[in-house]
Every structure is written in structure tokens, then in C-alpha cells.
Structure 1
């Protein structure tokens, strides 16, 4: 079977299984990139794809596209799932699958978080440009930053957030996470007030409130993931931070870091981040364990015992 037709069938299957548009787009981007690489090597049939060819593609991603280990592992995971699908559909022989002997590459675990100075620089920047005129974009971007900082929400969850997902009375936000799972997270009174003011401004600015909390400034319709990434690119130029990546995920790391520093237990943090297992949350604890010294000094049981 031709590789490009197998990919089309696979993506149609994902759509039938009701995966999110964002997830399908992510699979499509990787697999179409992989198919183009294979075609350049004159490989067009799924039976002719070898382990060596997949390795060559991943090396190409590293050297030519500048993909780090985490990004390459993500691409390999999507390719692996695709070939598992081909096995299940009996399009290829399981014993001859090119992914059988391949493994993920080792990743250097580095989790970045914003400092107080960097957070204040970003917020002050948005306040300055917003005060120069009633421009929706800057108010929206400011609201995105404080919402990410105050919730640790994922990028995909952010762009899909609707006003009817926010209960201002109970101060609870309903989000659709990975695997289309619905969950609720609390928000603080401070964040609820900021959102209420932003909501009133948005309705006044457009004349009609958008269905989505963070819409495009030109259409008042749903903002795309790429739109948010472009916002961070603009902010990166303005801030010129050299030691931290400006992204939604860095805000998620920062949320986790601040919660741990303030004394939140690991189980509560797992629920806030909506991690499927505790091991994912414990990565934060292992990396920032030494930074918990101040909390240990404050709450250690030996403090109240005469030795």
C-alpha cells in the first residue's frame, strides 16, 4: 500500500475516533513530513519503510530541522503509533514492522520556570502598551499570561476555553484535557475579578461577546494554537529573555514550581495539573527538591522539639 494513502486512511480513522482537531493536525504534520522524506529517498510503499529509514528521518530532524530530543521522541511516538495501526489493520506483517527494534532517545530533563523579575517585566510591558490605547490584542495577551500563570492550563485547553466553561460564582473552570477528558480546576478570587473585567472589555470592544475566552483580534472567533505561539514570539522580541523559553508550557512549569514553593502537596498539584499518574508530577519535585529547603526549614518537625 502506498504510504501516502495509508496516512490518509489513518488520519480518517483518528477523525472517526473523535480525536481533537489539534491532535489530528499534530499527527498529520509529522506523518506528512515523514512521507515527504521517504519520497525523497524514493520510498513510496509502506512495505519498503525500514528501521534505517526511520532513523535517517529522525537524524534529519535533528541536524537539518534543529529538533531536540524531546521533539524527536514525539515524532517517533506518532510514527510508532501509525505503524501499530498498520499492524492491527494487517496492512503490514507485525514481524517485519520497522519500529520493532527502535527505541526512544535519551532526553536531558530540563524544566524552566519564570523568575519574579521576568513575570513582572511581562506584566508591566502589557500594562504600558495597553494604557497607550484601548487595543484589544494587548489586553487579551495580558489576560492570557495571568490566566496561564494562575491555572497552569495547557495551550490546547487555553484556545478551546469558552466563557460558558467559567463559573464565576463557584470560581471553577471546566477544561477539556488530553484524550478529550473533562475536568474542573479552581481559580482564585483575584483571577476571577481580572477575567470579569476582561470579559466586559471584550464585549464592549467587539459589540458582541465571543464564544471563546481568548479570540482572534480580527475575527472575534477562536484563536488558534499558532496564534498564541505568535503572541509569545512577539513577547520574546520585546522581553529579550536569554535564559528561559517564552511558551505556554513554561507558564505551566512556573505554576507547578510556585505551588511547590508555597507548600502545596504533590497529590494536590497532580490534581491541579491533571497528570494521569503521580510520576509525571514527581519530576517537578525531583528537579526543585533543593529549592524546597526553605519550606523544610519552616515546617520541619524538629523545630518544636528540644534536642
Structure 2
């Protein structure tokens, strides 16, 4: 039934490839656990006690509460699917509780550091160098997700209107404005792109490998880490930290929370509000430094 559930996620729910892969991995891991621990060949037949035993085993292995909760969410989705399909009569995850997550503010790169990354770092005049520069600039100046950047095509860019069309989670489309500076940099990147691959066709992917094929996550990860290592003091060096940085810097400059929510493609305001904590910390620091009674 795992394959049926994966097909449901892929074709009906339109889940991203990353989500589908994660769900399949979780379910196969759970299948292996119940087979070894309880000699059950089918995870459709398990009950609450077996699921709880797996959760305890994950905690004993030292898995973070975030990871465990994601796996719990996978099981809940899977058994709800089986229940709707009338393949089981009772949901074994009904009484299952998620672990408490310690509150952690998203990290972001300081303005001075990101300015150094974009202005002082040496990007070679080659296609590879200019592509790397575009990756850094585009992630920071638009706040797009890694998967959204990889999926962009030249046809998604509207340099006349100064905007980019992004296909986000659950195939939800949004329009993000691009600055005149980013527009100029895109045109520069387009020039080296066309020198390398003859022409930037509308059907071509925007960020590509050295062979002109659609980029892959590790290429972007390596690029971001390489340049953040030079200037940033954050513990994280992933592409997602540039998304955090985009949101935090906008809010620090007084951007409307709802506008930032739309730019990020969040489904609800709660997901965006986490960035206001970073802004609040900045206000507290200013207050403590400037107020005579602080």
C-alpha cells in the first residue's frame, strides 16, 4: 500500500518530489522496524503500541523532535489515506501525540555580511562564476526556495515588468518583483549563458549545470556554502538561510508582514510571524543601547 499512497501524494496531492521521497523513506523505515521488532509484514496491520514503540526507538537513537514529528506526520497521512480508502477500520495514530519542539528562531545573515558576499566575493567572469553569483543574488533578493530556483525557466522571467513567476508548494503560483539591480545582473548572466549555450531559449532552465542541464540541489548547496563560508558567522550555510535573511531584512526595514507572507508564498501568517522575533530582538538591542532607563 505504500506505492498506492505515494501515487496519491504525487498525482492527486501534487506533492513536491522532495516531500514524496521523504514520505517513502519514512514509511519504508517504519516497515523495516515493525518487521524486525514485531514480525509484521504489513504496516496496515499495526496498532498504536507498535507505532509508539517506533517513536520511542527514534528518540532513543537521538533523533531530533523535529525529525520524529515529521515521521509521525507521515504515518498520520498514510493511515488517514488507508481509512478513507476503507482499507482499515481504525486509525492507529489517533492517540499519538507529537513531541514538543524547542522554540528556535531562524538564523539569518547580517546585512553587512550579505553585502560582502554579493559585493566583495570574487566571482569569475566565466559562465560558472556568473551562475554562482546569480544563485547567491537570486536567492537573497527574491527569497525563493531551493526547489523553486531549480525549477525556474527563462520564460518565468519578465524583465520588462520586472517580475518573476514562481511555482511554489502544491503548485501554487506567485509573482515576485525583481529590483532594477537584479534585472541588470540577470542580463549579464544571460550574456554568458548564451555565450556558453548559444541561446537562452524560453524553455531552458534558468540555473543549469556546466553541461546545460537542469541544476540539482547539491550544486546550489555547494555554491551557497562556498560563499557564505567567506563572510557569514551563522552555523547554517544552506540555501534556506538566504530565504530567512530575505524575510528578516525586509521586516527589519519596516515591510508589511502580509506582504512578506505573499512574497514567501506562505499559506498562513503564522509561518511568517517567526521572523518578527528576529526583528523584535533587534528592537530590544536598540532600546537597551539608547534608552536612559534601559
- Could you tell me the TM-score, scaled by structure 2's length? 0.84
Does residue 106 of the first structure (1) align with residue 95 of the second (2)?
Answer: no
**Aligned partners of 2:268, 2:89: CA distance in 1, in Å?**
33
200 and 224 in structure 1: CA distance in 2 versus 1, 3 angstrom threshold: same
Residue aligning to 1:75: 71
**Aligned partners of 1:212, 1:59: CA distance in 2, in Å?**
44
Residue aligning to 1:225: 217
For residue 176 of structure 2, give the secondary structure of its aligned residue in structure 1: strand
Residue aligning to 1:137: 128
Kept after mapping to 2: 8 A contact 1:171/1:187: yes
**Aligned partners of 2:196, 2:63: CA distance in 1, in Å?**
40
Does residue 38 of the first structure (1) align with residue 34 of the second (2)?
Answer: yes
93 and 45 in structure 1: CA distance in 2 versus 1, 3 angstrom threshold: same
Kept after mapping to 2: 8 A contact 1:263/1:295: no
**Which is bigger in relative contact order (C-alpha 8 A, separation at least 6)?**
2
**Aligned partners of 1:222, 1:161: CA distance in 2, in Å?**
9
54 and 239 in structure 1: CA distance in 2 versus 1, 3 angstrom threshold: farther
- Could you tell me the TM-score, scaled by structure 1's length? 0.81
Does residue 213 of the first structure (1) align with residue 209 of the second (2)?
Answer: no
What's the offset of the Cα at 1:162?
A: 0.8
Q: Unaligned stretches of 5+ in structure 2?
A: 288-294
Residue aligning to 1:3: none
For residue 174 of structure 1, give the secondary structure of its aligned residue in structure 2: strand
**Aligned partners of 1:23, 1:277: CA distance in 2, in Å?**
19
Work out which of the residue numbers 74, 87, 92 in structure 1 matches 2:88. 92
Does residue 15 of the first structure (1) align with residue 10 of the second (2)?
Answer: yes
Runs in 1 of length 4+ with deviation above 6 angstroms?
Answer: none
Q: Unaligned stretches of 5+ in structure 1?
A: 1-5, 297-307
**Aligned partners of 2:175, 2:270: CA distance in 1, in Å?**
21
Kept after mapping to 1: 8 A contact 2:33/2:54: yes
**Aligned partners of 2:236, 2:224: CA distance in 1, in Å?**
9
